[in-house]
Amino acid sequence: MKQGIKAEDLYRLRFVSDPQISPDGEKVAYVVKVINQDKNYESHLYICGLNSGASVRWTNGRHKDSNPRWSPDGKTLAFVSDRSGINQVWLIPSEGGEAVQLTSSVKGAGSPVWSPDGKSLLVSVTVEEEKEEENALKPLEVTHLKYKADGKGLLNDAYSQLVHIDVETREETQLTSGAYQHFDAAWSPDGQKIAYCKSRGQGDAISYASDLIVRTLNGTETKINQETGSFSDPVWSADGEHLAFLGQTFEYGSATLGNVYNALVGSGKVVCLTRDFDDHAGDAMVGDIHYGHPSPKPVWSKDGKGLYFIASCEGNASLHYVTMEGDVSQITRQKCHVYGYTMAVENDYAVFAASSPTVPGDLFYASLSNLSEEVRLTDVNEELLSTISLSQPEEFTFINDEGFTVQSWLLKPPHYTEGNKYPMVLEIHGGPHAMYGNTFFHELQLLAASGYVVLYSNPRGSYGYGQQFVKACMEDYGGGDYRDLMAAVNHVTAHCDFVDPEQLVVTGGSYGGFMTNWIVGQTSRFKAAVTQRSISNWLSFYGVSDIGYYFTKWEIGNHVWEDPDKLWHHSPLRLSSKVETPLLILHGEEDFRCPIEQGEQLFIALKQQGKRVKFVRFPKSDHNLSRNGDPGLRVNRLQYIVNWFDDHLKPDGQGGRAHENIAADRV
């Protein structure tokens, strides 16, 4: 009998991303990420022949190779690699041969974009103000709101600039400057202009916003967007007259749906094409192996009358199409997570990178006129999946107290036996403006393999169900969202006789960690809880988080000086005296999104009161430990979660520990 998946199987998982069809339409380049025998991440380029379906590994070594981009003539692949010690742009012949380093930036380079004639590249280079003494110990003078960032630490005066490189002469010309981040560059079809996105200046109170810029090669800049917001992924129409892009205004703060826009470059007129589409244009799916893959830009149709894009809807990330009149249709109908694509619209086909609950991620080929008949191009986890048993989720919905439909899923243990009763874990996603759905999730499969029924749900506040639903938790954290989660638990315990209602546990990270903290302050229904990278005190979060100064206002409704009582009302720390559930607190030492002091405050408050609590601090780990942290620590984290639950459930032999034999295969 096949075993269930283990925490250590993280080392065997392979992840496919960033497919790129060659100009002749005969091949597709893509990236495969793995964890090597030293438990370090590495990634390599592969090329698959679309006629033969055979893949060849194109780069080797213990490096991170990524972002393959074909030259217009298809003879060269530009890519990003850290093989020289820091990310630089490299070139490699598409017929095989040695890679040649193109850039030598002190702070690294990336995001290569070929000019239409193939003679030059735009690359993103980090430029930093010169320091008198590179290694001198000196204080950091802070004058801006945005002075730190999760995953980056304390920020200095370093900004991404766009550099033009002549491929033959290697001559470099810096095109942008100033205290702004420049990203997502795109050449116009005639090679005379570039579009790119530009962050607001550090002195701006809304420094988290970005603008879309069109720049001529002689340096004239024109701002395209007419509203304040966050804009990205510009793509030119074939005639160069239109510029499509993605973005969101901040009408509902961080709960605002993403949209697809079209700008008529000559007149400056901008139209939101998806204004009547009540779902999120973008990939809002949460998971623990897909983090960091490049998000694909919209693609113009062959006739230039519409655009293809990814949208998140009812637990799926699917390909959609929008016309210039704003009519939106869903193109892919499979229950899955499309997280990447590349299209040959002239030849009417596309290659997708897609995942499902039992497929970590692979490439699929399909005609744009008949996407239901897909052909699988890769099966990179065939060896692993042939030896383990995964669980297929069962979907259910219910109507909440506001009349919204709430979508949820159950994972049964892979060796589920009719007639047994099983403990159940409630998993709560972060965001809160994100979405559980039909994608592979190692942690959920591990909990199922450890003998737990896993309940995961999209309560109000989640993407995928319209603007009113996604903003419904704002200024009400711990209100309607809490009721939705408890309603999901009640639905399962009332309708599923295989779930033991006396054996419930709960966990979640980030917002899910906040909600875990809130739940154990409201009820003792759960026998154990694990809170991860959580929020416990909105008053301190405001000043210590890298986003606290605006996120708190958006989500809770007040700045810290406006109504501190409201911030305290929504703080789980306030409820610490009511906590009776054994609580495990997991936190990264270098988390700047939900800083570790949030976990520290909760631990001290509970410990001082003699509550059952343990605090685990993960070194050199930021907010994304579970997705891209040190592989060994990721495995440790998963083991802590399962062991905490196992240790606090009743070992009564009455079916409550029906997972005992399965759990023996875990470690």
User: DSSP string covering 285-316, please?
Assistant: B--SS-TTPPPPPPEE-TTSSEEEEEEEETTE
Which residues neighbour 647 within 8 Å (Cβ) at sequence distance 6 or greater? 528
Reference 198, options 164, 162, 226, 227; nearest CA is: 162
Question: Residue 627: enclosing H or E segment and its boundaries?
Answer: helix 625-628
Reference 526, options 496, 498, 506, 497; nearest CA is: 506
Residues in the chain: 667
Specify the 3-state DSSP secondary structure of 85: coil
CA 259 – CA 273 distance, rounded (Å): 7
Question: For this structure, is 510 an active site residue?
Answer: yes
Neighbours of 308 (CB within 10 A): 21
Active-site entry in 44, 280, 623, 659: 623
CA 236 – CA 113 distance, rounded (Å): 13
* CA 262 distance to own-chain centroid: 25
CA 367 – CA 201 distance, rounded (Å): 44
List of E strands, 497-612: 499-509, 528-532, 583-588
Active-site entry in 510, 534, 545, 626: 510
Structure tokens at 339: 């997280």
Phi, psi for residue 385 in degrees, rounded to 5 = -70, -20
Question: For this structure, is 623 an active site residue?
Answer: yes
Reference 309, options 343, 359, 278; nearest CA is: 343
Phi, psi for residue 528 in degrees, rounded to 5 = -160, 155
**Secondary structure letter of residue 435 according to DSSP:** B
CA 338 – CA 344 distance, rounded (Å): 17
CA 162 – CA 649 distance, rounded (Å): 56
CA atoms within 13 A on the CB side of 164: 20
What residues are annotated to the active site? 510, 623
